[in-house]
Amino acid sequence: VRQLIAFDGAIYVATWVGGVKKLGSRAALPFKGGNNPAARSRISSLAVADGALWAGTANGLYRLSRGTFELTAIEAGANDVAALYGDGKTLWIGTSAGLYTREGSSVRGYGGGDVRKIAKLDGAVVAATFGGGLVRMDRGRLVGVAGAPQKLAMAQSIAERDGAACVGGLDGLWLRAKASTPWIAATKPAGPPANDISAIAADGPKLYVGTFDHGLAVLEAGVWKRIESPKIDHRINALLVDGKKLWVATASGIAVIEGSSITQLTKTDGLPSRGILGLAKLADGRILAGTSAGAAIIENGRATAIGAKQNLEAKNVWAVAQDADGWIWLGTTTGLFRGKADDTAWTRYSVATGHLTDDWVMALAVKGSAIWVGTYKGGVTRFDGTTATKLGDGWINPGGLSWIGDTLFASTMEGLRTGDGRSATWTPITGSPGKDTTAAARVGDTLHVSTRRGLVSRPGYWTR
């Protein structure tokens, strides 16, 4: 749920994937116009202006007319509406292409870059922009808001009530008690660098935590510590503990941390792409990496692409693994591939071959000679050699399958669940800060569960 708003005696609810609903009604209101039905169901904001209810969506601006939301043009390129604000007859529109106003049938653009939120602050309409901080209108042009927090550039939200206000974004949160008092930066509580956690990895008593775009941290003995270096991109996709080394897959290569030493591997070191999506250790000690342009094996600081001899069409490699029989498995957006490091044989398994119900493979988990395959929208499938057994539906997240002891953990968009790896029976694990779970890890008797909304730790999970 993104917003609630009162209009014409009813409460309307904006949801990110379910469109707009009247409170108390199960069915979403119909939308008309636009070439992307999925995008127009992602509602960012609602506003009342000029006697009408408006909806901002990822597919443009819509106006409610006779029970149906109808597409209303803004201008070319302004299709992704992130914020709306109604001010009498004027509708303020924030998009990824800038700030606009609509009065009657007249639309005017003011620029301003990527606008994330619009609100009134001290009587003036103010926009929170991603990269430009807080801006307001001054004689037909946008200017910075006087007295705004200087360190706030990546602004995403703003709100005010009776002079008290708060603003926030990727740079932090600021508060003020009233218009005449200065902004005060909110103290960040101990915890991971951000709530959007993309990967976690246990290393004895330590838990490494990688975030979507805020870097890396480690939790040890209840104390959090940031791990920062120019060699570690803040956009982390996967983590691998290898003895005394920690391998960090990022959007711009691999960082290898060993004690106080950090080295970086990039395309100049042989990687097929800057974007690294998955990591696994091979039986001979080498590292297997999945990238957005294929897979590679890393040895002595150099990466060698695999699959070249057979012109392997495995480009976006989200998951990598090796089973007990030495077979290498690659999970890609075009199915599952099995082969050997020497490229002598590669076989593709997919929807077309009857082995999968979805070709977008996001996660792999190995136990002995068997491998479990998690797909974007087709659930989990177990492979015993070339025999595939479906183990239920679900939306598996990248790296979202892992064996901890004799339990298979599946991190899905609908929550964490556990199974025995043999049957399609799964047990949900509730109590996480968000449904969209990304990983599970064990440190001592504590189960750590990462989600897109934070980390939850369950002490004593294995001693109950």
Read off the pLDDT of residues 168-181 as tens digits, 9 standing for 90 and up. 998 889 999 999 99
| Beta pairing partners, 258 | 245, 261
Asked if residue 53 is part of any domain, the answer here is yes
Residue 203 and residue 174 in one domain: no
Chain centroid to Cα 41, Å, comes to 18
CA pseudo-torsion sign 444, 446, 451, 456 = negative
Residue 167 and residue 203 in one domain: no
Asked if residue 191 is part of any domain, the answer here is no
Looking at the predicted structure, is the pLDDT value of residue 464 above 90?
Answer: no
Residue 220 and residue 246 in one domain: yes
Rg (CA), the chain: 25
Residue 240 and residue 283 in one domain: yes
Task: Say what percent of the chain tops pLDDT 70.
Answer: 98
Looking up residue 419, the CATH number of its domain turns out to be 2.130.10.10
Q: What b/e sequence results for 430-440 when a residue is b if at least 16 CB atoms lie within 10 Å of its CB, and e otherwise?
A: eebebebbbbb
Which residues, in sequence order, are CB contacts of 210 under 8 Å at separation 6+?
197, 198, 199, 200, 216, 236, 237, 238, 239, 248
Unique residue bearing structure tokens 């050699």 = 385
d(CA 417, CA 429): 5
Identify the band that residue 38 occupies on the pLDDT scale cut at 50, 70 and 90.
Answer: confident
- The reported pLDDT for the residue numbered 171 is 85
Asked if residue 192 is part of any domain, the answer here is no
**3-state secondary structure (DSSP) of residue 371:** strand
Asked if residue 416 is part of any domain, the answer here is yes
The mean pLDDT of the chain is: 93
Residue 233 and residue 335 in one domain: yes
Residue 166 and residue 215 in one domain: no
Identify the band that residue 309 occupies on the pLDDT scale cut at 50, 70 and 90.
Answer: low
User: Residues, the chain, total?
Assistant: 464
d(CA 165, CA 147): 13
| pLDDT, tens only, 368-394 | 999 999 999 999 999 999 899 999 999
- The reported pLDDT for the residue numbered 341 is 79
**Domain termination residue (choose one: 160, 185, 210):** 185
Asked if residue 313 is part of any domain, the answer here is yes
SS3 helix, strand, coil % of the chain, rounded to 5?
5, 55, 40
Single-letter amino acid, residue 28: A
Cβ–Cβ under 8 Å, residues 420 and 442: no
What backbone phi and psi angles, to 5 degrees, belong to 178?
Answer: -160, 175
CA-angle at 390, arms to 385 and 392, nearest 5°: 145
Residue 407 and residue 275 in one domain: yes
Which residues, in sequence order, are CB contacts of 455 under 8 Å at separation 6+?
191, 192, 197, 200, 209, 433, 448, 449
- Tell me how crowded residue 395 is: count the other CB atoms within 10 A of its CB: 19
H or E element, residue 103: strand 98-103
Residue 123 and residue 246 in one domain: no
| Beta pairing partners, 290 | 278, 295
Residue 80 and residue 117 in one domain: yes
Cβ–Cβ under 8 Å, residues 94 and 86: no
- Give the residue, 16 or 45, on which the prediction is more confident: 45
Looking at the predicted structure, is the pLDDT value of residue 157 above 70?
Answer: yes
**3-state secondary structure (DSSP) of residue 463:** helix
**Domain termination residue (choose one: 185, 219, 237):** 185
Asked if residue 7 is part of any domain, the answer here is yes
Residue 123 and residue 223 in one domain: no
Q: If we measure between CA atoms, which residue out of 152, 235, 222, 229 comes closest to residue 191?
A: 222
| pLDDT, tens only, 75-105 | 877 789 999 999 999 999 999 999 999 999 8
Mean pLDDT confidence for 292-303:
94
Asked if residue 219 is part of any domain, the answer here is yes
Residue 166 and residue 290 in one domain: no
Residue 256 and residue 316 in one domain: yes
- Residue 180, exposed/middle/buried by CB under 10 A (0-12, 13-18, 19+)? exposed
**How many domains does the chain divide into?**
2
Identify the band that residue 129 occupies on the pLDDT scale cut at 50, 70 and 90.
Answer: very high
Which ranges in 207-325 belong to alpha helices (H)?
none
Asked if residue 190 is part of any domain, the answer here is no
**Domain termination residue (choose one: 163, 185, 207):** 185
Range of the domain at 373: 197-463
Mean pLDDT confidence for 199-211:
97
Q: If we measure between CA atoms, which residue out of 47, 53, 41 comes closest to residue 16?
A: 41
- The reported pLDDT for the residue numbered 210 is 97
- The reported pLDDT for the residue numbered 314 is 81
| pLDDT, tens only, 339-353 | 987 766 789 999 999
Q: What b/e sequence results for 294-325 when a residue is b if at least 16 CB atoms lie within 10 Å of its CB, and e otherwise?
A: bbbbbeeeebebbbeeeebebbbbbbbbbbee
**3-state secondary structure (DSSP) of residue 171:** coil
